[in-house]
């Protein structure tokens, strides 16, 4: 499902406004660099059922968790990069279901990719929750046919991470920027360089690891270079 062009333009303008406000107040950061060993636990909760909420990421790397939220009973929502694609997944203990939606694309192209949850209410056909990754928009759930997410409660007792989840091997490597109704009120950020994004210095990505590049020895890639 595609958004009408004017609406995409509107979304972009909202994000542009947000991206230009690189201000810091009281531990509310607007953007930061995550180096692959970083993540930040937020003190605020993301409510994806607001009319619009989102953030942006920028990376050259294939994998990593962008955002993770779990409530006290173990229900969770996760957004991660996998092979350059983006996967949204939901795990509900109460309803005993796990679902996921994939967005295929080269989202690890060192451009700002905007993530936007959009919750549209209608009356007799329930409400719809959409998720846009860049210019790809999918209907995630309808409140009548797929009510799980609409019944999940993420309150102050929930755990919210950006740039990682509870598994240390899933960390993101790149930049994250706050967006509409998604402040980065971080406490307990580990190795995050707030108000810095070295990827802004270049529009291209460095070389990528493959079998031949290190004579089949182990290869470590960062966003800008590789080392053997």
Ligand X SMILES: *[C@@H]1O[C@H](CO)[C@@H](O)[C@H](O)[C@H]1NC(C)=O
Nearest to ligand X of 3, 14 (CB atom):
3
Interface residue with ligand X among 144, 153, 202, 208 (CB under 6 A) is 208
Task: Specify burial of residue 3 (Cβ count, 10 A radius: 0-12, 13-18, 19+).
Answer: middle
Residue nearest ligand X, CB atom distance: 207
- Angstrom CA distances, 187 to 68, 157, 180, stand at 15, 15, 20
Measure the CA–CA gap between 204 and 192, rounded to whole angstroms: 22
Nearest to ligand X of 22, 72 (CB atom):
72
Size of the site for ligand X (CB under 6 A): 22
Interface residue with ligand X among 13, 21, 151, 210 (CB under 6 A) is 210
Can you tell me whether residue 133 is helix, strand or coil?
strand
Measure the CA–CA gap between 159 and 72, rounded to whole angstroms: 8
Which residues in the 114-133 window bind ligand X by CB under 6 A?
118, 120, 130
Opening angle at CA 201, ends 195 and 203, nearest 5? 120
Nearest to ligand X of 54, 134 (CB atom):
134
Nearest to ligand X of 22, 41 (CB atom):
41
Residue 194 touches ligand X, criterion: CB under 6 A: no
21: number of Cβ within 10 Å: 10
Q: Using CB under 6 A as the criterion, what x/- string covers residues 65-104 for binding ligand X?
A: --------------------------x----xxx------
Question: Which residue in the block uniquely carries the two structure tokens 């360089």?
Answer: 193
Which residues in the 24-53 window bind ligand X by CB under 6 A?
41
Measure the CA–CA gap between 107 and 97, rounded to whole angstroms: 27
Rg of the chain taking only CA atoms, in angstroms: 18
Minimal distance, residue 135 CB to ligand X, in Å = 4
Nearest to ligand X of 23, 215 (CB atom):
215
Q: Which two tokens stand for residue 57?
A: 């990421």
Task: Identify any residues that bridge with 160 across adjacent strands, giving them in sequence order.
Answer: 42, 69
Using the contact rule CB under 6 A, the part of the chain among 24-32, 147-155, 165-173, 213-221 near ligand X is 213-221
Residues that bind ligand X (CB under 6 A): 3, 7, 41, 91, 96-98, 118, 120, 130, 134-135, 187-188, 207-208, 210-213, 215-216
């Amino acid at each position: 499902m595609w958004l009408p062009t004017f609406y995409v333009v509107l979304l972009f303008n909202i994000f542009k406004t947000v991206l230009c406000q690189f201000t810091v107040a009281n531990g509310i950061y607007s953007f930061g660099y995550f180096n692959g060993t970083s993540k930040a636990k937020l003190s605020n909760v993301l409510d994806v059922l607001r009319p619009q909420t989102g953030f942006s990421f920028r990376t050259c790397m294939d994998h990593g968790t962008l955002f993770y939220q779990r409530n006290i009973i173990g229900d969770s929502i996760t957004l991660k990069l996998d092979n350059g694609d983006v996967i949204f997944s939901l795990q509900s203990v109460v309803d005993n279901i796990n679902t996921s939606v994939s967005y295929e694309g080269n989202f690890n192209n060192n451009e700002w990719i905007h993530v936007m949850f959009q919750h549209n209410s209608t009356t007799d056909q329930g409400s719809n929750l959409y998720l846009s990754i860049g210019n790809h928009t999918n209907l995630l759930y309808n409140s009548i046919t797929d009510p799980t997410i609409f019944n999940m409660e993420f309150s102050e007792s929930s755990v919210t991470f950006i740039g990682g989840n509870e598994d240390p091997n899933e960390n993101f490597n790149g930049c994250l920027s706050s967006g509409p109704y998604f402040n980065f009120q971080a406490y307990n950020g580990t190795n995050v360089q707030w108000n810095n994004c070295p990827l802004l210095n270049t529009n291209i990505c460095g070389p990528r690891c493959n079998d031949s590049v290190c004579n089949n020895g182990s290869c470590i890639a960062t966003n800008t270079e590789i080392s053997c």
